[in-house]
Amino acid sequence: MVPYSAVQASNARIATALPADLTAVFVGGTSGIGEYSLKQFAKHTVRPRVYFIGRSQEAGDRIAKECLALNPSGTFKFIKRDTSLVRNVDELCQELKSQEKAINLLFLTTGTLDFYTKTSEDLGLTVALAHYTRARFIHNLLPEIQAASSLKRVVSVYAGTKEGPVFLDHLENYDKIPVIKGRGHAASLVTLGMETLAAMAPDVTLMHTYPGPVKSGIGRELQGITGTIARVVFGVFGPLFNVPTEESGAYHLFFATSAKYPSKDSKGVQEGVPLGDNIAIARGTDGKSGSGMYCVDQKGESAGTNVEQLLQSFRDDGTKEKVWKHTDKEWQRILGTAKA
């Protein structure tokens, strides 16, 4: 576990330890962890250039103003877009590529508890946001992240360290998966996809995190009695268990900037804010220290032996390869073979 005091100390050194003019893309930055982490990034960096993406223009305008108040020297550009669609992701990535040649941080937090709605591209909405479009963002923007001269990092906030069995017959939908197994299945898809992408860019750090209970708008789209019950439960019990918003944002800024999480190709060169006392290099999903792809919980603890063994079994039995082949096939179906 990384103590909160160590997180705060590390974040306080960002302005002097990292270069100015860092460029970041926050996908899902208008509520919840995305918003909290974006504001921490704005607070601690020097002249950042930030693109943040969401569906609410009102929220986007509000957050841009609040970030400017935190850091008047920064640039904060809101882009209104529905990122549940792969086609939209490709269009948005082209827009970003036309404006930036290098990106230091890609931060992804999109999600929903709506397990039954399908997108217009015939993907389950939940898995589209958790896996297919997140993986597409990473895939498309890896060249720009690799082009960065300093920090090169991808943070995907979902359910890292909570991986479970994969249901290969139901990859594109959740509605046929037992509810109790859904989170583990989705977490494994995210991690396996990111492992494949990490192999394409060994000079980039990729990380799948679990934020713990946090106040967010993830259940706001649920309809009917299910939505009503969810909102009541979150409203009544959330304040008792939720991680404080500032603390959640601070930890995720630490994940995005600390030298605790080097890329595979770091070769011992420190990447990020130097480690504080008693803070060691993290263990990757392959069980090796500093291997470039990480699953961490809300306190920065790496996935345990059980998860590492499960992931190794997915590599050994071909599940990892099957997940990626299926993902690529869905991209091709949606976009056409040439574009995908």
What pLDDT is recorded for position 222?
Answer: 47
CB within 8 A of 178, min separation 6: which ones?
A: none
> Residue-wise pLDDT tens for the chain (340 aa)?
999 999 999 999 999 999 999 999 999 989 999 999 999 999 999 999 999 999 999 999 999 999 999 999 999 999 999 999 999 999 999 999 999 999 999 999 998 878 789 999 999 999 999 999 999 999 999 999 999 988 999 999 999 999 999 999 989 877 778 888 989 999 999 999 999 999 999 999 999 999 998 865 554 554 555 444 444 444 544 454 578 999 999 999 999 999 999 999 987 778 999 999 899 999 999 999 999 999 999 999 999 999 999 999 999 999 999 999 999 999 999 999 767 7
Domain annotation covers residue 225: no
CB within 8 A of 143, min separation 6: which ones?
A: none
Domain annotation covers residue 222: no
Mean pLDDT (the chain) is 91
CA distance 61 to 315: 44
What pLDDT is recorded for position 29?
Answer: 86
Per the structure, the count of domains in the chain is 1
Domain annotation covers residue 26: yes
Domain that holds residue 255: 4-215+244-335
Residue 221 CA: distances (Å) to CA of 59, 126, 203, 231, 234: 16, 12, 38, 10, 14
Domain annotation covers residue 116: yes
pLDDT tens digits for 51-101? 999 999 999 999 999 999 999 999 999 999 999 999 999 999 999 999 999
Domain annotation covers residue 80: yes
Q: Which residues in the chain belong to E strands, given as ranges?
A: 23-27, 49-54, 75-80, 105-108, 153-157, 205-209, 293-296
The widest CA-to-CA distance across the chain, in whole angstroms, is 54
Rg (CA), the chain: 19
State the CATH number of the domain containing residue 14.
3.40.50.720
What pLDDT is recorded for position 27?
Answer: 98
Domain annotation covers residue 45: yes
- Of the chain, the end-to-end C-alpha distance in Å amounts to 40
Domain annotation covers residue 221: no
Neighbours of 231 (CB within 10 A): 14
CA distance 140 to 148: 15
